Structure 1
Amino acid sequence: MNRKKILFVYYQNIQIGGVAKVLTNLTSELAENGYDVDILFLMDTHADFYPVNTAITKYYIDSFANKYSKFATHINKKYKFIPKIYNIHSYFYDLGSYIVLKKWIRENHHHYETIVSCWYKLSTMLSTEKNISQKTIAWEHSSFRVGGVLYDKLLRKNYKKLKSIICINKLSVKYYEKLNKTFFIPNVIDDIFEEQKAITVDQKENIISFVGRLDKTKNAVELVKIFHRTRKPSDWKLQIIGDGPERNAIALYIKENNLENNILLLGIKSPHEISQLLRKSKIFAFTSLSEAFGLALVEAMFCSNAIVAYDCEFGPSDIINENNGFLIPLYDTEMFAEKLEILIKDETLLDRLIQSSYAESHQWKKEKIIQQWKKIL
């Protein structure tokens, strides 16, 4: 058994979120494969939103207790009416986080052979510590363009001091390999999706699905409008799984256009519930404006869905091809609706894509992904 000790570092596991989800999935798999895994959260002790394997030890440091982080919270609340005040808040909170993280990591890093940072800001912080940076892997979950001038143009250059970089999309690999040794490893999905069996179009309902946080980036409100303009039989429905700040705007549009019987706002669901909902649907539609990977696309493929999605940066182009659906130029709502209409009218084509989409999903199975992690670790 391999007993290499590994530390993963992230902010929290208190709410729905892609990074926390894949973090708990991956660490659980590594623990099952004989690795000694710990997770450090930069938040006071909290209940887990996503279950953490009982073999994993969790540590908590309260980054919000630092004086700079407290000041950040104060100015964000008191002066939230000021444009871009959140940017100032972020810089002070990051400073507080760095101070708290630096203290803990200096005292404890010698216990670990490898440290995996799960966010670019944390990776940047760890890159400034000489003895720590050499054993740190940056696990990139966002666009390499995020962070503004401070991170993108200045601090991210310190990635060359790290042990290596792992990216979840191929465009990021091309960017980061100029700085350091870089690997492409997709995210691990929940077992519940891998366990799904292939089903045919006649076993499904006339449903289009969307899964994601209802915010401006995921852009679900645009999907609702596209669905409304798409020419289709009256029995077709759009089910939206997720919640977020755009929910009220979506609900208002549904009400104003009398779409209550055709567009269903289902809220947050468990992975098991999502898998059952996706098994019912024939098409998975995704209008996200930015993705680091697009885990929901792979989950939909395991549930035998044809895919129609925007070709946003960065993940969808690594996943979608002629065997599983259509990749639509960003903001081209007419083409998006056109492809939905084609699939709705042509059941033979839809069934072929449903079957080949399921077949293609197997390239994303966790066994292959864990083997890649094990080689690097």
Structure 2
Amino acid sequence: MKLLYITNGINGAGGLERVLSIKASYLAEHYNYDVTILSLNENHLNPFYEFSDKINMVSIPVTGNMVKYIFSYKQGIKAIVDKIKPDVISVCDDGLKGFFIPKIVKTKAYIVYERHVSKLIEEKSNHGYVSSLTVKAKWWLMSCLAKEFSKFIVLTEGNREEWKSLNNLEVMPNPLSFYPNQSSPLDSNKVICIGKISYQKGQDLLLKAWDLLFEKHPDWKLELYGYANDDFLNVSDLSKKNIHYFPPEKNIMEKYLESSIYVMSSRYEGFGMVLTEAMACGVPCVSFNCNYGPADIIHEEVDGFLVEKENIEELASRISKLIDNDNLRQKMGANAKINVARFAPEKIVEQWDELFTKLK
């Protein structure tokens, strides 16, 4: 089967790129799919994650003002589709332009849309009246255009509620990034949090919770991994409270295996791959029960804790409980390792193969 993925690029360190590297590579290696990934402006060069050598990489240039950009985007995609003649096109672009692809290309291929984020991506600390109207208009347009796809895929049952008007909707969770034979010994005084330093990921809330923890547990440290936006959070002066910042790490599995607790302080999510990654390394998680994802992944008080969203005191309390109780930490870590196996690539990618095969 010829499968064409359309995305902005694969050289970033985000969840979309991570998922695409796993899924596309698995389909090419284990299901003998003829996979092509189309990126914009050479953004397939130097990918952050590893992709199978069997995958074909192509790129189209898109530059200039809005009119020129749209024209080059449209003509570039049409040219690639006409050349490759795919059986299925899967659009991995969370922006508005990706929704227009069924109207851009004339093809016999089935066109699938993969939604990797929640509508809450537009949520900010404050919204003006005009901005709110603009966002509502955008979502209305997306909902109309989404009906043109053969299938519209979301990550969780919660995400399904955001697109209730669609009858082409299916839920497909993200596959695990890795599942090492070893697990963290959970004996280091280290809490870890991974993700872009941003309003969405809520590290500002985590730091407030850490303020409550620091006096009681001064020998524990918090490590943050991700691109930093100093306009949102100044990471240069955090070490006084045993908080350490690092840029994105390619070998992030090693960092999980060196940690004892994972914390996700997000205000909203599309899925929360960091939770599944930590659990695969046998690390118990404490997460805000935000929309959407954590409740689909964590079993409360079995392999981690779900905390009322943005409840800083409860977040600190649950982290402290795991710090204070070695046996509980070990038990939850062992359960996490077992329970998260349901997201193994061989199980999730099999579902994608079934979906693509049924379309044909």
RMSD over aligned Cα, in angstroms? 2.3
Residues 340 and 220 (structure 1), Cα distance of their counterparts in 2 relative to 1, 3 Å cut = same
Instruction: Quote the residue 1:14 is aligned against.
Output: 11
Q: How many Å apart are 1:180 and its aligned residue?
A: 3.0
One-letter amino acid of the structure 2 residue matched with residue 340 of structure 1? I
| Equivalent residue, structure 2, for 1:86 | none
C-alpha change, 1:31 and 1:295, in structure 2 (3 Å) is: same
Cross-structure match for 2:145: 158
Q: Which runs of 5+ in 1 are unaligned?
A: 65-69, 72-91
Q: Which residue of 2 aligns with 1:104?
A: 76
- Which one-letter code corresponds to 1:36 in the other structure? D
Alignment of 1:24 with 2:21, yes or no, is: yes
The residue identity in structure 2 corresponding to 1:54 is D
Q: What residue is the counterpart of 2:246 in the other structure?
A: 266
Bigger relative CO (Cα 8 Å, ≥ 6 apart): 2
Which residue of 214, 218, 225 corresponds with 2:208? 225
Report matched runs for 1:247-266 at 5 Å.
249-254=233-238, 258-259=240-241, 262-266=242-246
Instruction: Sort the Cα spacing of 1:340 and 1:47 in 2 relative to 1 into closer, same or farther, 3 A.
Output: closer
Identity of aligned residues (%): 24
Gaps of 5+ in 2: 123-134
SS of residue paired to 1:58: strand
How far off its partner does 1:234 sit?
Answer: 2.8
Q: CA deviation at 1:353?
A: 0.9
Which residue is equivalent to 1:39? 37
The aligned residue for residue 140 of structure 1 is 115
SS in 2 for 1:277: helix
User: Which piece of structure 1 moves more, 159-168 or 98-107?
Assistant: 98-107
Cα deviation for residue 200 of structure 1 reads 4.7
Length-normalised TM-score, structure 1: 0.82
Amino acid at match of 2:37: I
Counterpart residue type for residue 284 of structure 1: Y
Confirm or deny: 8 A CA contact 2:199 2:232 kept in the other structure.
Answer: no
Does structure 1 residue 285 correspond to structure 2 residue 260?
no
String of CA shifts for 1:109-129, please: whole Å, max 9, x gaps: 350110000024243111324
1:237-248 correspondence runs (5 A):
237-246=221-230
Cα distance in 2 for residues equivalent to 1:359 and 1:10:
33
1:50 aligned partner: 49
Alpha-carbon separation, structure 2, partners of 1:133 and 1:249? 48
Higher-helix-fraction structure: 1
Moved more, 34-43 or 13-22: 13-22
Equivalent position of 1:365 in the other structure: 344
By how many angstroms is 1:101 displaced? 2.9
- Deviation of the 1:250 alpha carbon: 4.1
Deviation at 1:176, TM superposition (A): 3.1
Return the match for 1:339 from 318, 324, 329. 318
CA 1:221–1:138: 2 relative to 1, 3 Å: same
Question: 1:240 and 1:146, CA in 2 relative to 1: closer, same or farther beyond 3 A?
Answer: closer
Quote how far apart the aligned CAs of 1:246 are.
3.8
Which deviations, in whole Å up to 9, do the C-alpha atoms of 1:200-251 show, x marking residues without a partner? Answer: 54xx212111111112221223212211211533321111122221499343
